[in-house]
Amino acid sequence: MMKVTIYTDGAARGNPDGPGGYGTVMEYVDSKGEMHTKELSQGYEKTTNNRMELMAVIAGLEALNRPCQVDLFSDSKYVVDAFNQKWIDGWIKKNWNRGKSGPVKNIDLWKRLLKAKEIHQVTFHWVKGHDGHPQNERCDELATTAADSGNWLKDLGIDT
């Protein structure tokens, strides 16, 4: 199984409901020992930081064209803890409800992320943001550039 490392970050200006963007850096070392890198980013006209954190992960996983072993690095506790602390399992068991706190936010993206990771073996790792980690810094640059670009898509799930 091919091993891929994915780094992700999301950004939003005027969170919530301002423009935002995500950045994703994907790395793969081929059988000859050569490093291949792919960068992904996109801006959205009205969104939230958490939605962009999720979109960064989704974009990376959806870009993979075969089952992979993935080490995924994010500075978002929201994303990483959902899997490592098994929050997502509880949300699903409770039909996407958090009990007294009400429904889980961003259900559309959580479901899309689950579908995108289905065929992969994904290990989530938290990395401290804005702490000099080269790939995390690059993801932040991609995300903020996309958020500021004016070349935005509509985040169709923002109001759901």
Which residue among 53, 60, 120, 155 is the active-site one? 53
Sequence-separated (6 or more) residues with CB below 8 Å from residue 91: 82, 97, 98, 104, 110
Mean pLDDT of the chain: 95
What pLDDT, on a 0 to 100 scale, did the predictor assign at position 141? 97
Peptide bond into 16 cis (omega under 30): yes
pTM for this prediction: 0.96
Residue 108 falls in the annotated catalytic set? no
155 is catalytic: no
9 is catalytic: yes
130 flagged as catalytic: yes
Number of Cβ within a 10 Å radius of residue 55: 31
Known binding residue 34? Answer is no
Summarize the confidence of residues 2-18 as an average pLDDT: 93
Q: Is 9 annotated as a binding residue?
A: yes
User: What does the pLDDT look like over 24-49, one tens digit per residue?
Assistant: 999 999 999 999 999 999 999 999 99
Specify the pLDDT at position 1.
87
Give tens-digit pLDDT for 107-156: 999 999 999 999 999 999 999 988 888 999 999 999 999 999 999 999 99
Task: Give me the domains of the chain, ranges plus CATH numbers.
Answer: 2-153 (3.30.420.10)
Question: Does the structure show a pLDDT above 70 at 159?
Answer: no
Residue by residue, what is the 3-state secondary structure of 44-98?
EEEECHHHHHHHHHHHHHHCCCCCEEEEEEECCHHHHHHHHCCHHHHHHHCCCEC
Residue scoring higher pLDDT (9 or 15): 9
20, 23, 43, 75: the catalytic one is 75
Active site residue 140: yes
